[in-house]
Homo-oligomer: A and B are copies of this chain.
Amino acid sequence: MALADASEDYLNKSAQNGTPKPLLELYVKASGIDSRRIGACIFCQEFWMELFALYEVGVVRVEVKTVNINSEVFKRNFLGAQPPIMIEEEKGVTYSDNREIEGRIFHLAKDFRVPLFEKDISVEKSIQNLYRNFKVFLTAKVDHDKQTKQQTPIEGLPPQIAASHNKLVEQLASIDSLLAERKSRYLVGHDMTQYDCELLPRLHHMRIIGRHLLNFDIPPGLIYLWNYILTGYRTAAFIESCPADQDIVHHYKEQVKIFTNQRETLQAPTKTHTLPEDVLHEIRRHGLDA
């Protein structure tokens, strides 16, 4: 069975003791540009980051494989299941539902005392629905731009679309405040948790899509949020699992049906993992720099 189009192994062979570590295979959605490249699947990246965290502390072995969901081989073998899909061959178990995947990772983290699933209600509330709010703004803005046949600047948007923009920015600002208050590296504290695995990919998508399709950027004044994004760009679990800009843009263009002359498909894949100069300067002036 040639299921996967590309794979990355973390087969950390230096087991700490005699018992072999569980081997988890994660099937993630491939890019629509090249099925050997990682696609812009939010849930795939979230679980990949969590598994990476477990791998880093020597708890599991991980193999990540990209799959082209439109290929007949994939459809035939997973009959309707969609990535992310996790397989634990030794136990003969396939986890094809996000609840099952998270459940398994949760138990591994618990058994090996990795504080990946610390509960934090304030954090939970502050990030809830952020991505949905972004998508509401995205759809409204893209529709408007299609009608007016130009990329309207944010200031020139009609009231309803401006409202969806403002709602998004308000929520980003409240996450910025939370981070400013806590002065923590990640959302909960010094260590990366499930909330970061959820939020960082979403923020990165907003940034990339904002710039390429929406004339929108995360406000430069939100330096605690930007500094948090910078932390992401320096976190191996994030970097490894992050799709290229071109693959992210391609994914959203397909969803909102934008066809432009800018051909991501022909470009060499690049990843924007740096901050705008002025923002970085402000961060350093405040003595933050992750």
Interface residues in chain A, defined as those with a beta carbon under 8 Å from any beta carbon in chain B: 43, 75-77, 79-80, 82, 92-94, 96-99, 102, 128-129, 132, 135, 138-139, 255-256
Q: Which residue of B lies closest to A143 (CB)?
A: B76
Q: Which residue of B lies closest to A87 (CB)?
A: B132
Q: How far is the CB of A100 from chain B (nearest CB, A)?
A: 9
Q: Is the CB of A75 within 8 A of B255?
A: yes
Q: Is the CB of A92 within 8 A of B255?
A: no
Q: Is the CB of A98 within 8 A of B96?
A: no
| A–B pairs, 9, beta carbons within 8 Å | A43-B97, A75-B255, A76-B139, A76-B256, A77-B139, A79-B255, A80-B255, A93-B132, A96-B132
Q: How far is the CB of A23 from chain B (nearest CB, A)?
A: 17
- Which residues on B sit within 8 Å (CB–CB) of A92? 129
Given contacts A79-B138, A79-B256, A98-B98, 20 further A-B contacts (CB under 8 A): A43-B97, A75-B255, A76-B139, A76-B256, A77-B139, A79-B135, A79-B139, A79-B255, A80-B255, A82-B82, A93-B128, A93-B129, A93-B132, A94-B129, A94-B132, A96-B132, A97-B98, A98-B99, A99-B99, A99-B102
Q: How far is the CB of A116 from chain B (nearest CB, A)?
A: 15
- Which residues on B sit within 8 Å (CB–CB) of A98? 97-99
In the assembly, how many copies of this chain are there?
2
Q: How far is the CB of A252 from chain B (nearest CB, A)?
A: 8
- Which residues on B sit within 8 Å (CB–CB) of A138? 79
Q: Bound complex: CA of A98 vs CA of B84, how far in Å?
A: 13
Q: Bound complex: CA of A222 vs CA of B34, how far in Å?
A: 49
Q: How far is the CB of A268 from chain B (nearest CB, A)?
A: 26
- Which residues on B sit within 8 Å (CB–CB) of A255? 75, 79-80
Q: Bound complex: CA of A256 vs CA of B75, how far in Å?
A: 8
- Which residues on B sit within 8 Å (CB–CB) of A93? 128-129, 132
Closest 10 CB pairs of A and B: A94-B132, A79-B135, A98-B99, A98-B98, A99-B99, A79-B255, A80-B255, A93-B129, A97-B98, A99-B102
- Which residues on B sit within 8 Å (CB–CB) of A82? 82
- Which residues on B sit within 8 Å (CB–CB) of A77? 139
Q: Bound complex: CA of A93 vs CA of B77, how far in Å?
A: 34
Q: How far is the CB of A31 from chain B (nearest CB, A)?
A: 14
Q: How far is the CB of A152 from chain B (nearest CB, A)?
A: 19
Q: Which residue of B lies closest to A124 (CB)?
A: B103
Q: Bound complex: CA of A102 vs CA of B79, how far in Å?
A: 23
- Which residues on B sit within 8 Å (CB–CB) of A75? 255
- Which residues on B sit within 8 Å (CB–CB) of A99? 98-99, 102
Q: Bound complex: CA of A139 vs CA of B76, how far in Å?
A: 7
